[in-house]
């Protein structure tokens, strides 16, 4: 057999260097810019939302400072910026614990105001529960010019408030009830050593209680719907519907003692509160 040498290897292709990678094409740059701009917009909107939410809550809190220093204000979870664009706040909640400072003691409020128009201040509806402890009511009355005469105060399950004067020498019993969407207070008994005395003796007390519950002059169309008393104090339920600022009577003054007056806007909810809340938007 004749020897056959192996065939030669195929020729190797000439060396071709790898083409340089393109750093970023035009499309990639555009995508990157869009991503950066979007991030900045999101951060800006988020910062604006946090700022506006804080600003409105802080402003509304100051609007209800007369009920005490510990006032908590809440807004709906819907972005505030979006609510402002639509011209209406979904709702505002206001909660205050028992006040221990100022001219009213032991008063607490839990309210929710729905559908607040940011331009006009009109509201769709509102609900509130006002509680006033018996101890706080007594302390509030004792701060008045006639308060040194009051020695004790009891709130009872039968819907009455019993007030004792000068260590029990004189007493007065006041019935608290709701009639025609208004809170009413009526003296049912007043005696001095068991003998009848003029009901005018307790007129100033009735005025003070009415004044601090802002009866008949509540904002947001709130009207008294129910009242209950027990040994701890008084609970007043209020509701309002489709209210506009033009429906709100101006703040008035109530005579408490001859020659002196007290503004009704120092009570549970100030009649001036709607204007202040509207200005917060």
* Residue range 151-178, pLDDT digits in tens: 999 999 999 999 998 877 888 899 999 9
DSSP 171-236: EEEEEEEEETTEEEEEEEEEEETTEE--GGGGHHHHHHHHHHTTTT--GGG-EEEEEEEETTEEEE
Q: And the tokens for 79?
A: 């972005």
Predicted local confidence at residue 72, as pLDDT? 86
Predicted local confidence at residue 261, as pLDDT? 34
87 contacts 117 by C-beta, under 8 angstroms = yes
Dihedral of CA atoms 246, 132, 207, 269 in degrees, nearest 10, equals -20
What are the residues whose beta carbons fall under 8 Å from the beta carbon of 193, sequence distance 6 or more?
169, 170
**Residue ranges per domain, the chain?**
42-279
Quote the CA–CA distance of 131 and 235 in Å, as a whole number: 4
Q: Residue 27 — pLDDT band, cuts 50, 70, 90?
A: low
The yes-or-no verdict on residue 263 having pLDDT over 70 is no
Predicted local confidence at residue 168, as pLDDT? 79
The yes-or-no verdict on residue 251 having pLDDT over 70 is no
Strand order in 223-230's β-sheet? 71-75, 88-96, 107-117, 123-133, 233-243, 223-230
The yes-or-no verdict on residue 262 having pLDDT over 50 is no
Give the mean pLDDT of 122-146. Answer: 90
Predicted local confidence at residue 43, as pLDDT? 60
Largest CA distance in the chain: 154
Quote the CA–CA distance of 160 and 56 in Å, as a whole number: 40
Residue 267 DSSP SS3: coil
Give the mean pLDDT of 37-62. Answer: 72
Handedness of CA 240, 242, 245, 250 (dihedral sign): negative
Q: And the tokens for 238?
A: 């209020």
To the question of pTM greater than 0.75 for the whole model, the response is no
Give the rounded percent of residues in the chain with a pLDDT score beyond 90.
21
Predicted local confidence at residue 236, as pLDDT? 94
The yes-or-no verdict on residue 11 having pLDDT over 80 is no
Give the rounded percent of residues in the chain with a pLDDT score beyond 70.
64
Give the mean pLDDT of 190-201. Answer: 62
Residue 167 DSSP SS3: helix
Taking all residues of the chain, what is their mean pLDDT, rounded to a whole number?
76
Give the mean pLDDT of 73-87. Answer: 87
């Amino acid at each position: 057999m004749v020897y056959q040498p192996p065939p030669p290897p195929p020729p190797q292709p000439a060396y071709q260097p790898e083409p340089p990678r393109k750093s970023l094409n035009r499309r990639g740059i555009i995508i990157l810019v869009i991503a950066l701009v979007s991030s900045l917009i999101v951060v800006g909107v988020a910062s604006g939302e946090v700022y506006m939410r804080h600003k409105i809550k802080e402003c509304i809190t100051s609007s209800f400072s007369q009920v005490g220093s510990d006032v908590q204000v809440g807004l709906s979870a819907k972005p505030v910026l979006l609510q402002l664009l639509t011209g209406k706040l979904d709702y505002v909640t206001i909660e205050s614990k028992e006040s221990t400072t100022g001219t009213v003691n032991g008063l607490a409020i839990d309210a929710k105001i729905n559908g607040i128009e940011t331009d006009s201040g009109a509201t769709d509806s509102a609900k509130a529960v006002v509680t006033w402890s018996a101890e706080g009511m007594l302390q509030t009355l004792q701060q008045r010019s006639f308060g040194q005469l009051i020695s004790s105060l009891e709130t009872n399950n039968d819907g009455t408030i019993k007030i004792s004067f000068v260590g029990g020498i004189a007493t007065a019993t006041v019935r608290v009830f709701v009639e025609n969407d208004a809170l009413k207070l009526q003296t049912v008994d007043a005696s001095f050593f068991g003998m009848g005395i003029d009901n005018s003796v307790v007129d100033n007390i009735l005025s003070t209680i009415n004044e601090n519950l802002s009866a008949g002059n509540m904002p947001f169309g709130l009207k008294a719907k129910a009242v209950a008393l027990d040994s701890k104090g008084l609970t007043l339920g209020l509701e309002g519907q489709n209210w506009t600022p033009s429906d709100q009577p101006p703040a008035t003054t109530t005579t408490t003692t001859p020659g002196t007056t007290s503004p009704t806007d120092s009570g549970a909810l100030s009649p001036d509160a709607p204007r202040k809340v509207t200005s917060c938007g």
